[in-house]
């Protein structure tokens, strides 16, 4: 079993839909990262959070440390949101990031 699991693996949506991507992990952590990777490879850090909720524009990330679960929500999705979304965690007392396998999102107009 992978230490970081994401669901779904693939997601298609119509423009304007509300999107939820889930991330569960089995290791103890102090923070969780959400990353976005566009075709071509470039990775952008969306959020780093250790508790509660963070919002940036149409993106919202939540985390429940006790339940070892995080969600990334996209409100009013747009075709430019099409990308792979990856969650990553650094286990306690290490500086390594362990990555989920990613969720490939396609938003159609």
Binding interface with other proteins (CB under 8 A): 30-31, 33, 35, 41-45, 48, 50, 86, 88-90, 94-102
Minimum distance of other proteins from residue 18's CB (angstroms) = 26
Q: Which is nearer to other proteins, 15 or 38 (CB)?
A: 38
| Among candidate residues 65, 73, 77, 88, the one with its CA nearest the CA of residue 22 | 73
Minimum distance of other proteins from residue 92's CB (angstroms) = 9
Minimum distance of other proteins from residue 94's CB (angstroms) = 6
Q: Which is nearer to other proteins, 102 or 107 (CB)?
A: 102
Q: Which is nearer to other proteins, 48 or 65 (CB)?
A: 48
Distance CA 10, CA 16 (A): 18
Distance CA 49, CA 80 (A): 24
**DSSP 8-state code for residue 31:** -
| Among candidate residues 57, 55, 67, the one with its CA nearest the CA of residue 22 | 67
């Amino acid at each position: 079993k992978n230490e970081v699991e994401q669901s779904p693996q693939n997601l298609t949506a119509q423009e304007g839909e509300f999107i939820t991507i889930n991330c569960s992990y089995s290791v103890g952590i102090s923070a969780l990262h959400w990353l976005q990777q566009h075709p071509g490879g470039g990775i952008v850090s969306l959020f780093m959070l250790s508790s509660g909720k963070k919002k940036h524009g149409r993106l919202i990330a939540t985390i429940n440390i006790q339940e070892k679960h995080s969600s990334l929500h996209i409100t009013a999705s747009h075709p430019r949101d099409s990308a792979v979304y990856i969650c990553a965690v650094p286990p306690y007392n290490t500086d390594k990031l362990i990555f989920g396998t990613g969720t490939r999102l396609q938003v159609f107009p």
